[in-house]
Each structure stands twice: as structure tokens, then as C-alpha cells.
């Protein structure tokens, strides 16, 4: 087999054509309906117990943002009528041992970080105050200020947290560090924060999406359609629903996806996330390169091996951004990996692989966005702003463009009613907005 044949067959197996997109949308709607009715579904459809912002909310809030390898503490000001502003913010890297240790260690680490932030910025620790907590994992809520972790994602595995109320765990740790005056007043997923943050300045915003280490989306639902909720105390007719679309499982898979899933620490789960998000797409490309090496299609002279962990999404991003005629950036990367004499054909093949993997990610993402939009508004008669945050969207070359062109292909003229907009820091800022909406 030649490189070109391999690339051609790869292109075919990764293609998500118009038919597949329409199938995905139909299956997605089916799983949304089931999730809202409380029956077994790959979409959890979690009520967030909050509506969009009116833009009039005011106040100063401390917010926590936990969801990836970094943890952030922020102070956010809502002045009403303008963009929420971050006044202070500090990032803490969560040590691997803490991510995989016990829940008590994890929440103690968070409490210590909050204390450091408050002392560094001279925020009075004795004052009674509410805190907004962005917790970017699937949580089952029955009100705005508590929630039970359903399962970890994105490689987290701290013990003793699943099935527990996150807010209790955090408040117990806060007490241990003399921060007992702080109470969590709002708990929200990062997508919910992102939607809330954008809706503060744009009333047409009704979908929030994260394309980062993980992926997920939420949207504004009519409470009457949330069949599983029954009668609960909730004051608005609309509520944000966290779909947890990363776990959607009716996506066309390849052998590489199966391989990746099999060795992951959550086999069978987060199937859509494993095709789209920053934590996984680099690994899919690496599996393809390894296959090409085994088939002696590339680097047969260099005896190069791509070990797990050696090739990440940021390398993929670098490769796809190489627009030089001789692909010198890719050459530089390969030299760094010990491949001294790569051919242009090998380098081009690497770029093709990355294009194919990221192109599929964008088309599946567009299918997800389209599913949510047509669930809310089948003919796309109204304008919709989609607030998006996350490094894949912000940094990956062509990812945004490919999503937009797929949406145009799916919706032709009605795609003019879809506006994708970046909600920078949405997940951090947003929970302050959520706290304010909940308090209003
Ligand atoms: C989590 C979601 C989260 C998303 C983006 C996924 O792995 O399950 O809750 O919103 O990552 O951070």
C-alpha cells in the first residue's frame, strides 16, 4: 500500500457526510427526549436550576473554576448593562497526585488555594460571603447550590467524590482552613457559566458550548419539556439544561476510536468527547501514525516510535498550522523527535492525518450544535447566539471555520440565524452571573 492509498481510505472512514450528520441529529433528538424524560439515555440532560441572565444583575462575586488541569479563583464584578469584569484572578496547577488522590485532598487543595487568593488580594476572610463554583463535570442538581457528582471525566479519578454532594465536600474543606464563613451560593457546569456569561450582554444567546480538554453543551429549555423534573420549587418558565453531550454514543466510529476507548479509564463512556476534545484528538492522530509506521508507510528508516503521551493535540495544531511549501515547521518538530531526514511526502501525510482527524471533530461538533438548535427551533426561525469557550475552539487552526462551513451546509440560508461567538473566560465569569441570577 502507498501513502496516498492509506490517506484516501482514512479519509473515507473518517468522513461525516450529510447523511451521517442527519442521522446524528435524529439520534441526538431521540436521546435528548429520553434524557429529559428521565429514561436511560447517553445524554444526561441535567437541569441546572437557573435561567439566563437579564443583564441587570449586580454585585461582586468570588468564583472558583475547576474543570481541567488548572484551577482558578476569581473575583468578578457585575455592574449591570456591560460586560462582567474579572477584577482579580489566580491560577493554580492541580498536582497529578491530587487529581488522582482522595476527594478530601482535592477539596483541601482547593480550599488552600482560595485562602491564598484571599490573603494575596487582601479579601476579608472573616466576612460572610457567597461563592460561585464552576465544576466542569456531570452533576445531578436539585437546586442551584448543591449537586452530586455522577461520574468523573477528563482523566480525574479522586476517590470518595462520586455520588457525593460536591458543595458539602468543599464547605467541609473550607471549614478546615478557617473559611467557614464562605458558603457556596451557586454551583454550575462550565457550559452553564459560559451561556450565563454571554447572555448577560446578549439576550439572543441560548446555547453554551465548551471545546476544550473536554466537550459539552447546554441550552435554554422550556421547563414544561423537562418531564423528569416533576414539581419542584423553581421560579422561571425557562431553565438551562446541561446535555453532557460528550457522552453521546451514536457517533460513527473507526478502529482507532475503539482502540483509544479500550485503553481509556472510562471505556464505553464519553464517546463523542473522545472524537472532539483536546484531551483525545492528538491521541487519535498518534494511533494513526503508529499504524502507518507499523505498515512501513512512514519513517521506516528512522525507526521512530510514537509512544503514548508523546503526541498531543497541541502538536497536531502546530502541524496543521504549517503552511510553508517545504513544511519546515513539521520538519522542526520531527527533528526534535529524533527524525532527522523526513521526506516531504511523510510530512504531508502527517498534515493530512491531522486535517482528517480535526475535520471530523468539527463536523461532529457542528452536528451537535445543529441538533440542539433544531430541538429548540426546528426551522431556525429565530436568531441564536452560541457562546463558545475552550482551547480547541480558540486555538486549533481551522476548527471554527470547519464548524461554520458544516453549519452552512446543514442549514443553508437559515444558517444566517446562527451566530458563533467566543465567550472568553465564560466558565469562570459565568458562575458569578449564575450566583447573581439565583440571588435576584
Ligand atoms: C464534562 C462536562 C464538561 C466538559 C467541558 C466533560 O468532560 O463531562 O461536564 O462541561 O467536559 O469541560
Q: Which residues are CB-neighbours of 10 under 8 A, at least 6 positions away?
A: 288, 352, 353, 356
Distance CA(189)–CA(187), nearest Å, equals: 7
For residue 351, what pLDDT band results from cuts at 50, 70 and 90?
very high
The end-to-end CA distance of the chain, in Å, is: 65
Distance from the alpha carbon of residue 148 to the mean position of ligand 1, in angstroms: 15
Contact predicate 242/46, CB 8 Å: yes
* Most informative mutation of 68, 137, 391 for ligand 1 (most atoms within 8 A of CB): 137
Q: What residues flank ligand 1, with Cβ below 6 Å?
A: 67, 136-138, 153-154, 189-191, 210, 212, 214-216, 244, 246, 273
Burial class of 263 by CB neighbour count within 10 A (0 to 12, 13 to 18, 19+): exposed
- Decide: residue 149, CB within 10 A, 0-12 exposed, 13-18 middle, 19+ buried: buried
Q: Which helix (H) or strand (E) holds 425?
A: none
Q: What is the DSSP code (8-state) at residue 395?
A: H
Q: Which atom of ligand 1 is nearest to the CA of 190?
A: 10
pLDDT band at 229 (very low <50, low <70, confident <90, very high): confident
Tell me the C-alpha to C-alpha distance, in Å, between residue 173 and each of 67, 115, 189, 240.
18, 11, 20, 29
Q: What is the pLDDT of residues 47-79, one digit of tens each?
A: 999 999 888 889 888 999 998 778 999 999 998
Angle at 341 between CA 340 and CA 345, to 5 degrees: 130
- 46 CA to middle of ligand 1, Å? 12
* Contact yes or no for 137/156 (Cβ under 8 A): yes
Mean pLDDT calculated for residue range 408-431: 94
Any alpha helices (H) in 62-189, and if so which ranges? Answer: 96-99, 103-120, 166-176
Share of the chain above pLDDT 70, in %: 100
CB contact at 8 A, 194 and 209: yes
Q: What pLDDT, in 10s, does the model give residues 270-287?
A: 999 999 999 999 999 999
* Percent of the chain whose predicted confidence (pLDDT) is above 90: 80
Active site residues: 154, 190
Report how far residue 11's alpha carbon sits from residue 227's, in angstroms, rounded to the nearest whole number.
Answer: 41
Task: State the closest ligand 1 atom to the C-alpha of 154, by its place in the atom list counted from 1.
Answer: 7
Q: How far is CA 46 from CA 51, 368, 376, 390, in A?
A: 13, 16, 16, 21
What's the pLDDT at 208?
98
| pLDDT band for position 197 (cuts 50, 70, 90) | very high
Interval between CA 217 and ligand 1 midpoint (Å): 8
Instruction: Give the pLDDT confidence score for residue 67 in this predicted structure.
Output: 84
> CA-CA distance, 50 to 236, in Å (whole number)?
8
Residue 383's pLDDT is what? 98
Q: Is the pLDDT of residue 232 over 80?
A: no
**Among 301-310, 366-375, 426-435, which stretch is predicted with the lowest mean pLDDT?**
301-310
State the pTM of this model.
0.96
114-134: per-residue pLDDT in tens? 999 999 999 888 988 889 999
Burial of 277 per CB tally in 10 Å (0-12, 13-18, 19+): buried
Which atom of ligand 1 sits closest to the CA of residue 137?
9
Determine which residue's CA is closest to atom 6 belonging to ligand 1: 214
Give one word for 89, left, alpha or beta, with left for phi > 0 and alpha for psi -120 to 50: beta
Q: For residue 347, report the distance from its CA to the centre of ligand 1, in Å.
A: 33
In whole angstroms, give the CA distance from residue 208 to residue 190.
9
How many Å separate Cα 16 from the centre of its chain?
A: 21
Please state at what angle helix 18-37 crosses helix 399-411, rounded to 10 degrees: 90
**What number of CA atoms fall less than 13 Å from residue 132's CA on the CB side?**
34
pLDDT recorded at residue 400 = 98
- At residue 338 the predicted structure's pLDDT band, cuts being 50, 70 and 90, is confident
The candidate with the shortest Cα–Cα distance to 165, out of 136, 182, 145, 181, is 145
Residue 231 reports pLDDT greater than 80: no
pLDDT digits (tens, 9 = 90+) for 167-176: 999 999 999 9
Tell me, what's the pLDDT at 42?
98
Ligand 1 binding pocket mutation candidate from 35, 210, 217, 387 (most atoms within 8 A of CB): 210
State pLDDT tens for residues 7-44.
Answer: 999 999 999 999 999 999 999 999 999 999 999 999 99
Instruction: For the chain, list the domains and their CATH numbers.
Output: 49-201+425-434 (3.30.420.40)
Ligand 1 centroid distance, CA of 212 (Å): 9
Give the mutation target among 154, 271, 388 for probing the ligand 1 site: most ligand atoms within 8 A of CB: 154
Q: Write the pLDDT tens digit of every residue in 291-311.
A: 999 999 998 877 777 888 889
Amino acid at each position: 500500500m502507498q501513502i496516498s492509498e492509506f490517506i484516501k481510505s482514512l479519509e473515507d472512514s473518517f468522513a461525516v457526510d450529510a447523511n451521517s450528520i442527519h442521522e446524528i441529529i435524529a439520534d441526538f433528538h431521540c436521546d435528548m427526549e429520553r434524557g429529559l424524560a428521565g429514561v436511560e439515555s447517553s445524554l444526561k440532560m441535567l437541569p441546572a436550576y437557573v435561567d439566563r441572565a437579564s443583564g441587570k444583575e449586580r454585585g461582586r462575586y468570588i468564583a472558583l473554576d475547576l474543570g481541567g488541569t488548572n484551577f482558578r479563583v476569581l473575583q468578578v464584578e457585575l455592574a449591570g448593562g456591560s460586560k462582567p469584569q474579572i477584577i482579580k484572578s489566580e491560577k493554580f496547577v492541580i498536582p497529578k497526585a491530587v487529581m488522582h488522590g482522595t476527594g478530601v485532598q482535592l477539596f483541601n487543595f482547593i480550599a488552600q488555594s482560595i485562602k491564598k487568593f484571599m490573603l494575596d488580594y487582601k479579601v476579608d476572610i472573616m466576612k460572610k460571603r457567597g461563592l460561585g463554583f464552576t465544576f466542569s463535570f456531570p452533576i445531578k442538581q436539585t437546586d442551584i447550590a448543591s449537586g452530586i457528582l455522577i461520574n468523573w471525566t477528563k482523566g480525574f479519578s479522586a476517590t470518595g467524590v462520586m455520588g457525593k454532594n460536591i458543595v458539602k465536600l468543599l464547605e467541609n474543606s473550607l471549614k478546615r482552613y478557617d473559611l467557614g464563613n464562605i458558603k457556596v451560593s451557586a454551583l454550575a457546569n462550565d457550559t452553564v457559566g459560559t451561556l450565563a456569561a454571554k447572555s448577560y450582554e446578549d439576550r439572543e444567546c441560548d446555547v453554551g458550548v465548551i471545546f476544550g480538554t473536554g466537550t459539552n453543551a447546554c441550552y435554554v429549555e422550556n421547563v414544561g419539556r423537562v418531564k423528569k423534573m416533576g414539581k419542584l420549587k423553581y421560579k422561571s418558565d425557562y431553565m438551562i439544561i446541561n446535555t453532557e453531550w460528550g457522552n453521546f454514543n451514536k457517533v460513527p466510529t473507526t478502529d482507532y476510536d475503539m482502540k483509544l476507548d479500550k485503553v481509556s479509564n472510562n471505556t464505553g463512556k464519553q464517546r463523542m468527547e473522545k472524537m472532539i476534545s483536546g484531551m483525545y484528538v492528538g491521541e487519535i492522530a498518534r494511533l494513526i501514525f503508529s499504524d502507518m509506521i507499523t505498515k512501513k508507510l512512514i519513517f521506516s528508516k528512522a525507526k521512530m516510535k510514537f509512544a503514548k503521551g508523546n503526541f498531543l493535540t497541541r502538536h497536531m495544531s502546530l502541524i496543521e498550522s504549517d503552511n510553508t511549501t517545504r513544511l519546515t515547521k513539521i520538519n522542526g518538530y520531527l527533528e526534535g523527535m529524533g527524525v532527522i531526514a523526513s521526506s516531504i511526502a511523510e510530512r504531508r501525510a502527517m498534515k493530512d492525518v491531522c486535517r482528517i482527524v480535526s475535520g471530523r471533530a468539527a463536523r461532529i461538533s457542528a452536528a451537535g450544535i445543529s441538533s440542539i438548535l433544531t430541538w429548540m427551533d426546528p426551522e431556525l426561525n429565530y436568531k441564536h447566539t452560541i457562546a463558545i469557550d475552550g482551547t480547541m475552539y480558540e486555538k486549533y487552526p481551522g476548527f471554527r471555520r470547519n464548524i461554520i462551513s458544516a453549519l452552512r451546509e446543514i442549514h443553508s440560508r437559515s444558517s444566517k440565524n446562527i451566530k458563533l461567538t467566543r465567550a472568553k473566560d465564560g466558565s469562570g465569569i459565568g458562575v458569578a452571573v449564575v450566583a447573581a441570577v439565583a440571588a435576584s
